[in-house]
Amino acid sequence: MVGNPARIASIATAVPPFALDQHDIVRRVELALGPRSREIVRMLPMFGNAGIERRYSCVPIEWYERTHDWPERNRIYLDSAVGLLERATRDALDTAGRKAEEIDAIVAVSTTGIATPSLDALLMERMGLRRDIARLPIFGLGCGGGTIGLARAATMAQSKPGSLVLLLVVELCALCFRRDDFSKSNIVATALFGDGAAAALLSTDLDGPAIVGGGEWTWPQSLDVMGWDVTEDGLKAIFSRDIPDLVTTELHDVAVGFLADRGLALCDIDRFVCHPGGAKVLDALETAYELEPGALSESRDVLRDYGNMSAATVMFVLDRALHNGASHWRRALVSALGPGFTAGFTLLENPLSS
């Protein structure tokens, strides 16, 4: 990126009110689905191996015990997503000491529901924001959306120096549980997914970490690795069992190439801010980035406390990285993997480093 870089003034996160304990989820899945499928019982250990203690949901756990069609799920998505985004936006503004009327542009990332008008327009109406705000809704990036959205928001901020750009990321993944689907992908999603949202404020005229680069890499012939199938009763998760192996064997060279284009190497990165897709994926990421086992502690902590919130998760990790020892890193690499199959990267430089 040329010119003055966009900087992150603040990040705020938000989760819905219903906490889901992983042990309680296992018990309920076994009682509800176990008698109907012996295969489900054999897959229950994956809940304990997921590295998750709790998650948050926009509906109470009893909601998942009944069947629900796509229109109902999407209505809940719209109501809950806008509410979470408003809370995160107000918190981000308060932290940065800015006012809502100062927002010049919004980038809104989400892939777990359909909103037309888009979520940014719904939030504008709800908060009474300025009518001339530039809007960029982004759909379809899945778990990669937080990282790639951050880079897109930085590009918008840099294209108009001094403007204030609001990045919104919200995913309500838990709504996608399908009670009558006994596939492994549905059970994996049930073991991993939670709901959450984040907001970040960016500008070239603010203090904070500078976004100095962004990029992505999409592997050929990888469209079936990750994504959604649209069915009558909602979105059905698609996961390839090969994702950890793909990360272990191929992400290293992609990341090295991204950094080399900027005159850097893996050893020049002090902090790796990674989307925690799951425990096995985190192990694979540590291998790919030449890290010691367990080094991605902030990603593991977020996974433990919130589960996989798709695109929003990496923003939770970044929020922790900016607050935990912020003065002890100079460069950070934000990364996530999403449908495509795509790796997204955002490179940060920290003015507080010593």
Q: Rounded to 5 degrees, what are φ and ψ at 81?
A: -60, -45
58, 143, 173, 274: the active-site residue? 143
pLDDT above 70: residue 104 = yes
Check pLDDT > 90 for residue 179: no
Q: Is 143 a catalytic residue?
A: yes
Give, as one character, the DSSP assignment of residue 5.
P
How do residues 239-287 score in pLDDT, each as one tens digit? 888 898 999 999 999 999 999 999 999 999 999 999 998 999 999 999 9
Q: pLDDT confidence of 1, banded at 50, 70, 90?
A: low
Answer whether 328's CB lies under 8 Å from 342's CB: no
Query: Is 289 buried (19+), middle (13-18) or exposed (0-12) by CB count in 10 A?
Result: buried
Per-residue pLDDT tens over the stretch 54-70: 999 999 999 988 888 88
Residue 131, pLDDT score: 97
Strand 105-109, strand 165-172: pairing: parallel
Quick: pLDDT tens for 128-156: 999 999 999 999 999 999 999 999 999 99
Segment 334-353 shows an average pLDDT of: 91
What confidence tier does 33 reach under pLDDT thresholds 50, 70, 90? Answer: low
pLDDT of the residue at 197: 98
Give tens-digit pLDDT for 299-326.
999 999 999 999 999 999 999 999 886 6
Residue type, 170: V
- pLDDT band at 352, cuts 50/70/90? low
pLDDT at residue 34, rounded to an integer: 65
Contact 102, 68 (CB under 8 A): no
Q: Band of the pLDDT at 29, cuts 50, 70, 90?
A: confident
- Asked whether the beta carbons of 156 and 219 are under 8 A apart, the reply is no
What is the per-residue pLDDT for 201? 98
Domains and CATH numbers, the chain: 6-203 (3.40.47.10), 210-349 (3.40.47.10)
Q: What confidence score (pLDDT) does residue 93 get?
A: 98
Residue 354, pLDDT above cutoff 70: no
Average of per-residue pLDDT across 76-93:
98
